[in-house]
Structure 1
Amino acid sequence: MLLHRAERRAYHLARERARREPHEMTCMIIDGMDQSKTDIPHLIVKDKDSASLARLPVHFTALLVERDFFEEVYIHFLPVGHTHEDVDQMFSCVARHLNHTNVYTLEDLEIETAKSFTPHIDVRAVTAIPNVKSVLDKHLYGRFANHSKPHWFRFRKVQQRCYMHYKKWESSQWKPEECEELPHGLLCLKDVPDLSQSMEWVEPNLDKLDLPKLVKELPKNYCHRLPPSAEEWWVNFMANVSSTYDQVCNNCPKVLP
């Protein structure tokens, strides 16, 4: 309990400092909502009475510091428990609102999600992401092991290079300790990749989608439950989903800023 309290307090201090000094510091809390909460079509059901730890993006974070997007970055994985109250509260409001609302299409989901929380939520559909891994692979400074055990990571520049330190808890000492072999910490990147070169984008994998089966079963499973406009939307979506995502990837910028 004391350990959780100390970790939560460290996050609260960072959050409040970011609010006081928005031009000097940014604090983000990231978590994933239970995806079943946003399944669509989502129809209200009246009864008779009435997320795993993401892989640590150490090399991408080092790249942000190397490219001077940030002077210093801390990544803090909060322990399991009631330590994500900010994002949990938002997820709860979203889930509660959707539980009492008919949501037929992706557009409906975006609209209702934005309406579910105050202040206003900026809802965006992510249709494509850059394949940063393919860019960084050739520039990695070795491979890290056991990096899921520490909860804290610090990235900062020393002599024009980004170095990383880590520790298990807020009260722990940063490692590696300064020594002749590692005077500044751990290097994540051998050199800084040239982001002006052509960038690949991750293409959506639709292999596991049995589109003909979905098209066939949608009217059967939701017969007389979807309005005609929603049925038409789904028919068009299923018919054009492959070409739509292909077009999105083709129109993506080829160079990162």
Structure 2
Amino acid sequence: MCDDYLDAPSGKSPRSWDRSTRLLIAWLEKYFTFHGERMPNRYEILLPYGTVQREIYEQYKKYVENPVCNSQFYKKWKENFKFVKAKKTNTWSFTRCTTCVTLERQLTKTTCTEMRAFYRQKKEEHNLRQMFERKTYYSKRELAQQSPRQHMSIIIDGMDQAKTNLPHFAGRNPKNLNPVDLLHTHVTEVLSHGHGSFHAYVDIGEYPHDPNLTINIILKELLRQAKESNNFLPPILYIQADNCWRENKNRYVFSFLQLLVSERIFNEVHMSFLIVGHTHEDIDARFSMISRTLGSKDAEIFEDLLKILQSAERVTKIFDVKKWLEPNLNVAQHATQPLHYKFVNVEGIVNFFYKDYQHQPWTPLVGHFLQKVPEGVPEL
């Protein structure tokens, strides 16, 4: 939510605001939450390229009774949401949404009034679709927060490696410090909503960033939370991850999730992804906090970095789960396109479902990712 960013309002105390102003602040916060992208490297939320304040004001007037005037709208935006900005250029340093890029190019190329209206409508439909995907993620967070004995929700993502290479010096690095001589570290963070905990797992690049690392970090997090909850895990697990087939969206990870259900560790496991190019979420707000801390603090050795990360641990060994699963894997169709996956134990049998978008019905997969439970244990 924008609460992670919201500054103390300037001027009057929020308690002295009239009802229309309070409704305006609430509406803006909700709008920015569902339409903006949290930046992992700075304290900002960016709205899509081409966003016009006047058009947002027109939307606001449609949904709110007794709206404030446009000058008051812009004033409150400036006072309370300084961190919310529209992208100034069509370029983007992170992965971009193909649909957004295509529609923006079409809008730039055409001067036809009817076609511009058509592309604007398509863009709004796309923005609404990605907004509903975010809402689905938020609903799972809320379930874990409201009933942690029944639901568990985690989001897992990796931080930009260039930010945490060692030694790190606040400000400019010395000229005699060659980038190739730095110790390359990789920080994977897990945010657990029901427990309100945030934990970092740090390696120094000795392991490939592949399904093995993802599976091991999920295992570590489940073990950590079980220990903190007197060896208890709720029956339903929700996992939100980056939409990357190499690390997360593949048959190894899905086979592992099937295994969690078949071994009765969970009755139900869901794994979801946001639309590519719209994946910056609450975990990125945490990354931006770490980036700001690194902007003012040195981290010369590994222990310094762990202190800055606070709740963190060094990954010293992992299981070769990928090799252990390999002989028992099936070739599964529809494994990389959908955004939502579900494994459910029904009378001792694991059923697998998928769907492209949150509003669509679940489609059952014929067969399984895993033929049978592998024998023995994975090698270290």
Q: TM-score surpassing 0.5?
A: yes
In 2: Cα distance, 1:32 partner to 1:68 partner? 29
- Following TM superposition, by how much is the alpha carbon of 1:31 offset from its aligned partner in structure 2, in angstroms? 1.4
2:327 to 128, 138, 160: 138
Q: What residue number does 1:95 align with? A: 291
Q: What residue number does 1:32 align with? A: 158
Give the TM-score, by structure 1 length. 0.65
Q: What residue number does 1:200 align with? A: 379
Q: What residue number does 1:220 align with? A: none
Amino acid at match of 1:126: V
In the alignment, structure 2 segments of 5+ residues that lack a partner are: 1-126, 174-241
Kindly indicate whether the alpha-carbon contact (under 8 Å) linking 2:270 and 2:340 is maintained by their aligned counterparts in 1: yes
Amino acid at match of 1:40: L
Q: What residue number does 1:67 align with? A: 263
In 2: Cα distance, 1:159 partner to 1:193 partner? 21
Give 1:195-234 correspondences, 5 Å limit: 197-201=376-380
Give 1:166-181 correspondences, 5 Å limit: 166-176=354-364
2:346 to 158, 164, 168: 158
Verify: 1:19 aligned to 2:138, yes or no: no
Percent identity of paired positions between Structure 1 and Structure 2:
34
2:166 counterpart SS class: coil
After TM superposition, the runs of 4+ consecutive aligned structure 1 residues lying more than 6 A away are: none
1:163 counterpart SS class: strand
- Following TM superposition, by how much is the alpha carbon of 1:158 offset from its aligned partner in structure 2, in angstroms? 2.3
Give 1:122-137 correspondences, 5 Å limit: 122-137=311-326
2:313 counterpart SS class: coil
Question: Which of the two has greater strand per residue?
Answer: 2
Give the TM-score, by structure 2 length. 0.45
> In angstroms, what is the RMSD of aligned CA positions?
2.0
**1:19-52 deviations in whole A, cap 9, x for unaligned?**
11111110011111111111110012259xxx87
- Following TM superposition, by how much is the alpha carbon of 1:144 offset from its aligned partner in structure 2, in angstroms? 2.3
**1:205-242 deviations in whole A, cap 9, x for unaligned?**
xxxxxxxxxxxxxxxxxxxxxxxxxxxxxxxxxxxxxx
- Following TM superposition, by how much is the alpha carbon of 1:62 offset from its aligned partner in structure 2, in angstroms? 0.4
Kindly indicate whether the alpha-carbon contact (under 8 Å) linking 1:98 and 1:113 is maintained by their aligned counterparts in 2: no
Structure 1 residues 46 and 199 mapped into 2: Cα distance closer, same or farther (>3 Å)? closer
In 1: Cα distance, 2:297 partner to 2:148 partner? 36
Verify: 1:190 aligned to 2:371, yes or no: yes
Amino acid at match of 1:199: P
- Following TM superposition, by how much is the alpha carbon of 1:124 offset from its aligned partner in structure 2, in angstroms? 1.0
Kindly indicate whether the alpha-carbon contact (under 8 Å) linking 1:65 and 1:162 is maintained by their aligned counterparts in 2: yes
In the alignment, structure 1 segments of 5+ residues that lack a partner are: 115-121, 177-181, 202-257
1:19 counterpart SS class: helix
Number of paired residues?
A: 181
Structure 1 residues 161 and 193 mapped into 2: Cα distance closer, same or farther (>3 Å)? farther
In 1: Cα distance, 2:333 partner to 2:161 partner? 29
